Amino acid sequence: MRKRINFNGMTYFIAVIEAGSVTGAARITGVSKSVISKAISDLEASLQTDLLLRTSKGLLPTRAGEAFYHRCLAGMEAIETAFLDAEHHGSLPRGELRVLANAAYGRYRVLPVIHAFAERYPECKISFTLADDVSDLKMTWFDVAIRTRPLSDPSLHVRRIGSFQRHLVIGHDLASRSGVLDSFEKLSKIPFIGYVNHLDQPGWEFTRGLERRHVSFEPCLLLGPMNLVLESVMQGRGFSVLPSFFYEDPALAPRLKRLMPEWAAESGSILAYTYPTRQRSAAVRLFVEWMACAAQGVPFPDPGSGPNVVFPDPLDL
């Protein structure tokens, strides 16, 4: 007899690891903290092992917890893919598809998918808009929103389709003029370019294996959206903390260099938002799946017809 599996506990455990806290997981999933805490306690009891270390700095995975997280993640993504494959089998996207994305991820990861999707399904008319700050008016405009920051509307259905890493990054020209930059102390002598929307957070948390370090940089510039930070880094104005979808992009990579690559800043999630009443659309379902493929670095469905775009897998970093 197949063992009964606590899928809710696994889902909430993944959310806690990625959010770094039960509070963050509750915000992402829309489930109360008490429900998440009990589900993870039940999961640990079922597995007869501790998955999380509760420290003064937050929740960290144990060695068993880290291994379990990666296996759960792969399993959940496979289940979601199988479900979507069965759900839209035989249906083709047509009609209008309205897509919204934040400026940085939308420009470098969503736009190539838009182009390929439009070529594969010419009967689907796509409207695509970039916006970092989403007003109440725009909240009702889209069919699919691809975000690297959460939206607050509780009526939306959210699916985590991938993740990305963050590292310290500098332009190649400035790096060649700055000598060896192999410590946080040496970096303090180089101009730092900060984010306008990061002002409310006290610095950055970096990890190297199990080692953690909190670092605050004094910015010479505060810019937004993130595309402006990227442009300034490539122009040699300073260094910054940039997401992997920038420094892995084939067109950008030759101009960027990761600093102290063994140290990683907090990772981020790529989220797909839809309205429940619009999820039945073949265009919505299939486009979200295409975006999941792009985020995970795998080919689009049905490789025998139309263009394929394969992106680097951010989970392999």
In the block, tokens 């950055």 appear at 204
Question: Phi and psi of 84, rounded to 5°?
Answer: -65, -35
pLDDT score of 302: 62
| Three-class DSSP category at 230 | helix
Check whether 202 has a pLDDT greater than 90. no
- 46 or 262, greater pLDDT: 262
pLDDT score of 86: 59
pLDDT score of 133: 76
Check whether 85 has a pLDDT greater than 70. no
Check whether 316 has a pLDDT greater than 70. no
As given in the structure block, the two tokens for residue 308 are 């394929």
Check whether 140 has a pLDDT greater than 80. no
Q: What is the pTM of this model?
A: 0.66
pLDDT score of 137: 46
pLDDT score of 313: 40
Would you kindly state where each structural domain of the chain is located, as residue ranges?
A: 7-86, 92-163+269-316, 165-267
Q: How confident is the model at residue 303 (pLDDT cuts 50, 70, 90)?
A: very low
pLDDT score of 58: 75
Q: Which helix H or strand E contains 79, and what residues bound it?
A: helix 63-87
Half-sphere exposure of 133 (CA within 13 A, CB side): 5
DSSP 313: -
Check: CB of residue 12 under 8 Å from CB of residue 40: yes
The listed CATH number (3.40.190.290, 3.40.50.10860, 3.10.150.10, 3.40.50.620) that belongs to domain 165-267: 3.40.190.290
DSSP 3: P
Tens of pLDDT along 274-291?
987 765 688 999 999 999
Q: Which helix H or strand E contains 198, and what residues bound it?
A: none
Check: CB of residue 284 under 8 Å from CB of residue 143: yes
Average pLDDT, the chain: 86
Region 7-86: CATH code = 1.10.10.10
My answer on whether omega of the bond before 225 falls inside 30° of 0, hence cis, is yes
- 106 or 84, greater pLDDT: 106
- The contacts found for 35-39 with CB under 8 angstroms, 24 or more apart, are 36/12, 39/6, 39/8, 39/9, 39/12, 39/13
Answer yes or no: same fold for 7-86 and 165-267: no
Tens of pLDDT along 219-268?
999 998 899 999 999 999 999 999 999 999 999 999 999 999 999 999 99
Closest alpha carbon to 73 in 162, 3, 157, 164: 162
Question: Phi and psi of 205, rounded to 5°?
Answer: -105, 120
- 5 or 196, greater pLDDT: 196
pLDDT score of 84: 57
> Largest alpha-carbon pair distance within the chain?
65
| Three-class DSSP category at 33 | helix
Check: CB of residue 161 under 8 Å from CB of residue 291: yes
Residue 75 one-letter amino acid: G
Q: Which fold has domain 92-163+269-316?
A: D-Maltodextrin-Binding Protein; domain 2 (3.40.190)
Burial zone of 302 (CB within 10 Å; 0-12 exposed, 13-18 middle, 19+ buried) = exposed
pLDDT score of 90: 46
Cα–Cα distance between 239 and 10 in angstroms, integer?
A: 38
Check: CB of residue 245 under 8 Å from CB of residue 164: yes
Tens of pLDDT along 142-197?
899 999 988 888 888 999 999 999 999 999 999 999 999 999 999 999 999 999 87
Alpha helices (H) along 181-302 = 184-187, 226-234, 244-247, 282-296
DSSP 245: H
In 102-197, which ranges are E strands? 124-130, 144-147, 157-171, 192-195
